[in-house]
Chain A
Amino acid sequence: MNSHHPDTLTLMEFSAGNLTEPHALCIRLHLDQCADCRSRVDTLDSLGAVMMENQPQTEMSSGMFDSILSKIDSDDTDAEREVSTAAKAGKRASALQKLLGDDLNGLPWKRQLGDVSVLDISDRFPGQNEQVVLQKLVAGGKAPSHTHRGEETTIVLQGAFADQKGVFNQWDFVVLNQEDNHRPVAVGCEDCITLSVLSAPVKLTGTFSRMLNPFIR
């Protein structure tokens, strides 16, 4: 059971299809584990359906339905069946597996300060402007104190961390901004791995202020 959820307004932007891919990924990973937020998204999707229904009418070109029929008639039925049986069996790899494989700990981490390692995966989202970063804090480790210049959306992929605001467990979702100056500590016996989407670089506030890229850029 998660205790830190996306804001309902963010879920609405997700349901409307307005979030960037990295942000949508953070929401998706949370939704996959959180029935309460899934149920909220269901209602929001219904809101989308009702909004679509309430719009002015448009005219369709004549012959359009026939061209749809000829398209479905020329469909490759094998490919069609494949899609649906794979879906039914739930065999699709999750977005996370597709992006990072099965072994988060075995990724080519780059050691930063003491307890912190990072891996920039922005290039997995071609055409996006945001920075997407994985961060790892060794079990029991501390990250340097820092604040955030822009907005940073984070989801915990493994382990847990704690700061002044509480404990963030696996699949918890948190948004940090300029007002948040924190010093996260990895709690529990596992390394804590997070996925963060950054709209602007992080500003260091403590003794490490001259160094770049600590636990969260």
Chain B
Amino acid sequence: MGYFLDLFLSGLTRGSIYALIALGYTMVYGIIQLINFAHGEIYMIGAFTALIVAGVLTIYGWNQMAIIFIASIVALLYSMGYGYTIEKIAYKPLRHAPRLSALISAIGMSLFLQNYVLLAQTSDFMLFPSLIPDFKFLTSFSHIARPSEFVIIISTAIVMVLLTFFIKFTKTGKAMRATAQDRQMAMLVGIDVNRVISITFIIGSATAALGGVLIASHIGQINFYMGFIAGIKAFVAAVLGGIGSMPGAVLGSLVLGWTESFFTGYVSSDYEDVFAFIFLVLILIFRPSGILGRSDTQKV
């Protein structure tokens, strides 16, 4: 039973990270029907920014709580800036172009950012300090899971709740839902759609960067390639849950996290990805629009 619980929690941790990234995919898709392939790089850039800021602050001898706080904030803000800029440079000019053009632009942006970090930083794995402190109140649970796992799960849960609240009850959240349902009509009731799209990219980037900082601190190493694999997995999770649906993205991520974790634990860690993707194919055969996805409504 203890082993099962271990796997359950490590799956939940993975799933939480996937969910933080998948939310960005699904929100952007919901609003402009674009798969933002550069999204995984935002996650990577978030981790790198945190590493640099933490490094600098450590030299100045700040205490650990201040470092994790400031490093996360800076990483979030910096990534938000990236998300905003990427949309303006790579997607906005192609708003009325065929969808494939924007997709290619997204892939190009992804490659560009990877190689840019590769050149600016290094191709080696870099050690990432375990920023998340060993909270005292969590040590009594330490036989179940590491404190950083708890921190990841809890902070993801908080982000989900905040985001749900934001989308459901705020004016901007309403504008986002309206834009997702009918962009032209949203403009005609006075919504500045460009602003809504920018906000969507900014929020998505912030959650992805948070995921990047958390996972880097949990695993302890990062490199320029980390965003690619995580991005693909999160994309898969978003499709699994039903792309465009936010609860779907979270559910899909958790399902993917648990699948990987249990398979690794009970069968073999060598074929972890193989099994995850077989599972994806099976779900999509039986539910082509994802677990919570709706089939597209016909527009007249």
Task: Determine if chain A interacts with chain B.
Answer: no
Measuring CB to CB, which residues of chain B are less than 8 angstroms from any residue of chain A? Answer: none
